[in-house]
Structure 1
Amino acid sequence: MKFALTCGTMLAGISVASPLLAQAAADNGGFEEIIVTARKSQERARDVPVSITAVSGASLAEAKITQIGDLTARIPTLSISYGATQPLVLIRGFGTGNGQSFDQAVGKFIDNISYGRDQDARLPLFDIERLEVLKGPQVLLYGNSSTAGALNITTRKPGTTFAADGSVAYEFNQNETVAQGGMTIPLAETVAVRLSGLYQRLAKGPNFNVATGKHVSTDRNYAGRAILRFTPSADLEVLLKAEYDHIRNKGLVGEPIAQPLAGYQFPEVNFDGRVNANNNVAPMFQRDYQALDNETYQIDINYDVLGGRISSTTGYRRLETGLASSGGQSVPLFSGYIAYLNKQFSQELRYAGKFGALDLTVGGFYQHEKRDNFTVADFNAAAIGIPVPAFSLNLVSPQKAESWSIFGEFTYHLSEQLSIAAGARYSDISRDADQSANPGLVVPNRSFGQSAGWLAPAPFLDGLYTGFFGVPPHSFTGLHLHETHFQPQVIVQYKPSDRAQVYAKYVKGDKSGGFDVAYQGAPGNVTPAGARFEPEKAEGFEVGLKGVSDDNRFDYALAAYRTTFTNLQTNAYVGTATVAVVTNVGKARTQGVEAEFHYTPMRGLRFGASLAYTDAKYLDFPGGSCTRAQEAATPVGCRQDLSGSRTPFSSKWAGTVSIDYEQLVGSYVLSGGVLAAGRSSYNPSSNLEPLEQQGAYVQIDAHVDLKPDAGPWSLSLFVRNLTDIRYNEYGSISPGTTQGLLGYLSRGRQLGIRAGFNF
């Protein structure tokens, strides 16, 4: 099945820098309408009373957007980092910390199925109809409520006629090949299938590992999807979907940028794209890698009845992920491993209808999730002359979660211009877990898929464990929590004309608590209660204005917002913790203003601009991790009061400017474009370490394209990051050291060619 899905169709490609908004030229040279499904029904984007950025599937393929992380430069309020062992996704300065213990504050939903684990951010984007970035808490129409925002992704479905599209491209600097595409095949009058796939290989990593003599990190990814559409009658549609994703990365290592305060010293700490790390020697014999396999099976049934539509979505997912990473040292001092196997079943039943002045959506949702978590940290102090045997910290936590909810939204149109929408979701959530932290022996050459095979328990090392970490080992069983949440939302919308609207929104959302996979405890306080973290709450207000001019040449969207978080879930290196542990921030807040404009003054010429001001900060967070200097001043029990500080990754200002032009030359269309995307300074570390601070930068992308005026093929030249800006994607301490610092540089300049087709 995996082979068949992957080989269905694998052609699409690369072009860069046309504005990513799902805009296309209309016959009069203006913009076509953008259709979105943010409220689970097809609507024009200008009619939806929420802050939303929509990206077309064609724009994703043309700009070589194969992961959501590639969107960071294009959508000002979206920040994504793959530098961390667990990806970070944030909207308006907030998301979920670097850890597998959390549900995600920025939810990811593909065809109405929740992809709520941290590693889901690495899944590829291919054969996409549309991607929508919904900003602020989303509580009503998404199975797992998202307190910071949501990514609503819709894949392409089979049509009624044969169609195929795709392209293949090559990037010269990192020797990267990307191919993706899809094909629709009618099987009968009422049955059609769409096969699609992606292949991506990055052969020459952007950094150089001095110790191994290789460029790192490299990628080899592929994915395949099959969707069968059956329409036995005009009012009934059945969709069957199967997908397999295979992600492999080798050699991701943090680059040392500051020496540890004591003990082992890095060979060099210049932030220059050179690393010096090799754990593929005794006693670990370990290579750095990241791996992920995902399987999704889904059934959708849509039935038009009772004046509306009944929709059923049934889904099963199996996600397995694993990684091994060194601490950046040139000697085998530390190696970390994280793996989990997550199995998820979900069912949603929803009814939407219109009855005179009343629109309504009601439904119910159920999800069962089982996850086996393994985190291992290997220590080999003998590598720096400390005469203790090599040993492992083994953190194991099998967990189960079961949730159900009912939801409803009712929109009453007081007049043609004025409407009020009110709704709520009531959720009931139960979690059960075991959690342990114990010593073990070093298992050499840990590979993907071993899971429990990574562990070699060693109770005779309990004394060494206690002396090393200052806390005793522990094993907790039967941990349980039960929560209920009521999450309301009210929207008032006024439309002075069919082409403009103003709206005001109030929403209150919750994200459930849970159990910390990596809990070790603190000296004198190792208890089952300490492994639990509290639910996160968000309360948001937003007002907005959006519309389009009468001639369809100018559109705009403005929004002002404020969201306050209570018990914000995050993580930090605190106390004796060797890996980042979960903690709750007392209170935090984000507020700001966003603006987006597009203008087509004449046929073939398009301008776009976006600007975001974001004021995201902790209001009450006295227990954050210390900086390197603070740790030197207070080496025991150091805590940093981050109250009043900006949140990680949040830039005060961010924006884009783009220009695209196309011209008919004989029987060919010649086009090109430039995009400039900039951000003010930010800090990519959880403790806001000054040495990790990233300054302001502007990234410039450009492309030139040629295609026949009426023909199926196209050729492109592209460059991404023209000025070769390499910014700090993520910063942290180096595990196994005392405040040695690591940074993770982004990719530099990308230059390539692309050939595509569409018929």
Structure 2
Amino acid sequence: MKRATTLYLGTALALVAWPMAATAQDAGNAEVDGPAEPAEDMAGESDPFTIVVTAQRREQDLNRVPISIEVLGGDKLADTGISTLEEVTLSVPNFQITQTGLTTQTYIRGIGSGNDPAFEQSVAQYVDGVSYGRAQLTRAPFFDLQRVEVLRGPQSILFGKNSTAGALNIITAEPTDMVEAGVTAIYTPVFDGVEGQAFVSGPLAPNLAGRIAVRGLSEDGFVYNTVKDRDEPQREELAGRGTLQYDSGPFKATLKGEYSTFDVTGRNLLVSQDVATRTLPNGAPLDFATALAGAGLPGVLQDTTFNYRRQADADDYDRTDFWNATLTTETELGDSLLTTVTGYLGYDRTTSVDLDFTSASILGALTRENYEQISQEVRVATPDDRTLSVVGGAYFEHNRLEYSDVTSFGPNLANLGYGVISDIGVARDFEQTSTTYAVFAQVQWRVSDRLRVIPGLRIAIDDKTASRTLVARQGAFSFDGPLVTAPTPIVVLQSALGFSLNNPGAGTGHDLSRSRSESNVVPSIALEFDVTDDVLLFGSYREGYKGFGFDARSNNNQSFGFDDEYVNAYEAGIRASFANNAASVGLTLYRSTYSDLQISQFDGTVGFNVGNAGKTRTQGAEATARYTIAPGIAFNLSAAYLDFEYLDFRRGNCAFGETPDGDVVNGVQLCDYTGERGRFTPKWNLYGGLNVDRPLFGDIRLKANADVSYTGEHNVHDNLDPAGIVDGYTMVDARIGFGTDRWTIAAVGRNLLDERFRTYAAQVPFASNVGANTQYATASRPRSVAVQLQLRY
């Protein structure tokens, strides 16, 4: 399993050794003579704590950005071994990512997108200015980065696609004008994990520089599958990126190409509870495990507590190939800057999921997904020191999603009384094309030396066309087997399990096709006031929307289209810096009201339905503090308070045993969630980090950091079952290393308190038929300690 990664690491080391050997022979290259300046010396500069961000499409000091924002630098990400967005959540309060059985969900301030693959993202992701518009793209490994900016709250004007909850602005490392190279290798014994990253960067010709970066990972998992006698999920990942940059001064062009493959075998999904509500004639509780045993399937469900053990017997994998090409140009037009960003990206994904979470063959799924996207943005920015300055432009995006899946009914359904549908697969085909056109502008008016008024406007048109078919076929895992024509299995699939089928004789029909076009005008206005040169007060009002769409995964033909999601958001805050910018504090108060919040919920059998919640409110406060205690010693603090409430949501899918009290939709009464908190909405998130880079003796330096975060109690269940409430937990990560400017060896600890918790929960299909509240959950990563080696040139 480790052969490919070992080969990769050898290649990476060779890449790093090549420029070292080549430049060592070039004594005349003064640019690369001598080591880099020590961090202690750098700390004495006049502005020791300036962090430059581009959250508003301009380079700005972080302390002057009137947005609730957290920034993680590329060095911090590399040193701590963070290589996925999910691992970023430790350092960013009010930001959560979780993996379900079907997709990855990202939330900011309790707002995110659910399981449907056709969803646009409430938390948008941008990489080098290109929108990564689907949930699966958040799982792409990221590496060799300059920084990651997490922007909380609606970003409705300056970014390519509207985002109602926030945005992730990821900037990859650029080519350098002097030769640089580095390699990082990490070995994690508890997961038998090997990870390596390497880059080479430098000039290629006058005005032309290049950069190559690669990454590989191979690791076993942390949930033991007793049926297959292995740890899961096992991950194999390879990625490479090449960047060319031409810079003549008034004109700069950057061309980037990237390809990655990330394969997962097995999953960290396990049955987390099996609670009976009925009893057998002998008085014994009738839970799902007992029911399966009584149906002739003894021992297929043994571990029914959250104990990091599972019994899945079917193939369980997730394989994705991802590609991206981005061309960015910057042209000076007098003292203004014209920027163009051209992006092309896509991915192919295939998955197999064991959906019964037992060693029996009851229920499974196969999925195939292909996505391609092209985008073009043109943007002009005038100098922001003028009385009137502007950032404005136009945006175009076209994407195409092809999604197919098969819900597979295995032979052991006969044991549960559903033998008539065993060895049948319900095949779904969904296709959607989407085109967006937008123009936008944000103007800054300097009313006085200290007061600025910043209005903004975005006008967008979204066109979408989609189709969906659903048919039952012979063969449990067949995309193209013979159609089922016998009336009995069709009746069972439709009446008992809620499928609307397009088979001959089915009657209901399921061959849907629809087109829709909507336009939206999105305004914003902000005020900024400099109390002093170091203290900024700000307030803003923003509107935003997330585009309408079509439900890719519903099993009934009444659930297909859903509406735009809208938000009205108010924010006010303060940013202040002290001690020659060595210390800073920030506070943001916010209140956002959402209309028609897009929700995807489990229907209690084998499907998900998308709908719109009437009205939702999130409000709270977010605070940050940063302080450089001494040269090479600094700490960060962050805190977030979140008050979340569904103000009007009468169309929630009922949790197990809940009495329906909501609206009647398609003849079924749903549940009223009005007044409830949503998923992933802890009241409190706290974070503290300490970073140390100090000389010990000679050229040897101590390089250490510690990160502590607390996440309060919250519900992770799809349908807000009270059993899905997770107690608050504290995560501790730490790294201690020794080395020089050329090498470092370190120990990296993750989740040192070994906190084990559920990050997502939902019902196990068919368990409710016997009256059992049986849930599965996604398990968090347990404690790990790794050895890390870094070489730099």
Q: Given the two structures, how large is their TM-score scaled by the length of structure 2?
A: 0.87
Please name the residue that 1:399 is paired with: 432
Equivalent residue in structure 2 for 1:649, among 650, 655, 680: 680
Equivalent residue in structure 1 for 2:212, among 195, 211, 215: 195
Equivalent positions of 1:293-308 (< 5 A) are 293-308=321-336
Closer, same or farther: CA 212–127 of 1 in aligned 2, 3 Å: same
The 3-state SS of whatever aligns with 1:268 is coil
Give the CA deviation at 1:626.
2.0
Closer, same or farther: CA 191–673 of 1 in aligned 2, 3 Å: closer
Give the CA deviation at 1:177.
1.2
Equivalent residue in structure 2 for 1:248, among 246, 252, 263: 263
Please name the residue that 1:316 is paired with: 344
Contact kept? 1:29, 1:604, Cα under 8 Å: no
Aligned Cα root-mean-square deviation (Å): 2.5
Please name the residue that 2:642 is paired with: 614
Please name the residue that 1:682 is paired with: 714
Code of the aligned partner of 1:353: T
Please name the residue that 1:335 is paired with: 364
Please name the residue that 1:225 is paired with: 241
State which drifts further: 479-488 or 687-696: 687-696
Closer, same or farther: CA 513–466 of 1 in aligned 2, 3 Å: farther
Please name the residue that 2:30 is paired with: none
Counterpart Cα distance in 1 of 2:419 and 2:62: 65
Please name the residue that 1:466 is paired with: 491
Q: Which has the higher contact order (CA 8 A, sep 6+)?
A: 1
Equivalent residue in structure 1 for 2:537, among 470, 477, 502: 502
Please name the residue that 2:776 is paired with: 742
Counterpart Cα distance in 1 of 2:456 and 2:46: 40
Give the CA deviation at 1:8.
12
Equivalent residue in structure 2 for 1:724, among 754, 759, 779: 754
The 3-state SS of whatever aligns with 2:43 is coil
Counterpart Cα distance in 1 of 2:530 and 2:567: 28
The 3-state SS of whatever aligns with 2:91 is coil
Contact kept? 1:84, 1:730, Cα under 8 Å: no
Count how many residue pairs are aligned between Structure 1 and Structure 2.
720
Contact kept? 1:9, 1:196, Cα under 8 Å: no
Counterpart Cα distance in 1 of 2:80 and 2:779: 21
Give the CA deviation at 1:181.
2.7
Equivalent positions of 1:89-238 (< 5 A) are 89-203=106-220, 205-231=221-247, 233-238=248-253
Equivalent residue in structure 1 for 2:481, among 456, 460, 463: 456
Code of the aligned partner of 1:497: T
Equivalent residue in structure 2 for 1:378, among 408, 417, 429: 408
Closer, same or farther: CA 675–743 of 1 in aligned 2, 3 Å: same
**Matching of residue 757 in structure 1 with residue 791 in structure 2:** yes
**Matching of residue 427 in structure 1 with residue 460 in structure 2:** yes
Percent of counterpart pairs with the same letter?
A: 25
Equivalent positions of 1:357-756 (< 5 A) are 357-380=387-410, 381-384=413-416, 386-388=418-420, 389-442=422-475, 444=477, 454-461=479-486, 463-470=488-495, 472-473=500-501, 474-521=509-556, 526-527=557-558, 530-574=559-603, 578-630=606-658, 637=668, 639-667=670-698, 668-708=700-740, 711-738=741-768, 740-756=774-790
Counterpart Cα distance in 2 of 1:424 and 1:632: 42
The 3-state SS of whatever aligns with 2:137 is helix
Counterpart Cα distance in 2 of 1:732 and 1:254: 11
The 3-state SS of whatever aligns with 1:173 is helix
Counterpart Cα distance in 2 of 1:321 and 1:550: 51
Higher alpha-carbon Rg: 2
Contact kept? 1:201, 1:221, Cα under 8 Å: yes
Equivalent positions of 1:348-359 (< 5 A) are 348-354=377-383, 356-359=386-389
Runs of 4+ in 1 over 4 A off after TM superposition: 6-13, 22-25, 260-263, 631-634
Q: For 1:506-552, what per-residue CA distance to the aligned partner results, in whole angstroms no more than 9, with x for missing partners? A: 1000111111012222xxxx44xx41101100110000111210333
Closer, same or farther: CA 724–632 of 1 in aligned 2, 3 Å: farther
Contact kept? 1:36, 1:45, Cα under 8 Å: yes
Q: For 1:166-193, what per-residue CA distance to the aligned partner results, in whole angstroms no more than 9, with x for missing partners? A: 2111111111111113111321011111
Give the CA deviation at 1:630.
2.2
**Matching of residue 61 in structure 1 with residue 85 in structure 2:** no
The 3-state SS of whatever aligns with 1:58 is helix
Counterpart Cα distance in 1 of 2:378 and 2:625: 37
Counterpart Cα distance in 2 of 1:461 and 1:194: 61
Counterpart Cα distance in 1 of 2:85 and 2:46: 30
Counterpart Cα distance in 2 of 1:697 and 1:501: 34
Give the CA deviation at 1:736.
4.3
Contact kept? 1:8, 1:224, Cα under 8 Å: no
Counterpart Cα distance in 1 of 2:748 and 2:10: 27
Closer, same or farther: CA 497–25 of 1 in aligned 2, 3 Å: farther
Contact kept? 1:7, 1:224, Cα under 8 Å: no
Counterpart Cα distance in 2 of 1:546 and 1:654: 20
Code of the aligned partner of 2:454: A
Counterpart Cα distance in 1 of 2:486 and 2:60: 62
Give the CA deviation at 1:115.
0.3
Counterpart Cα distance in 2 of 1:560 and 1:723: 32
Contact kept? 2:451, 2:529, Cα under 8 Å: yes
Code of the aligned partner of 2:746: S
Give the CA deviation at 1:253.
5.1
Counterpart Cα distance in 2 of 1:498 and 1:630: 57
Counterpart Cα distance in 1 of 2:74 and 2:780: 24
Uncovered stretches (5+) of structure 2, i.e. residues with no partner: 17-38, 277-287, 294-300, 502-508
**Matching of residue 268 in structure 1 with residue 283 in structure 2:** no
Please name the residue that 2:31 is paired with: none
Give the CA deviation at 1:295.
0.8
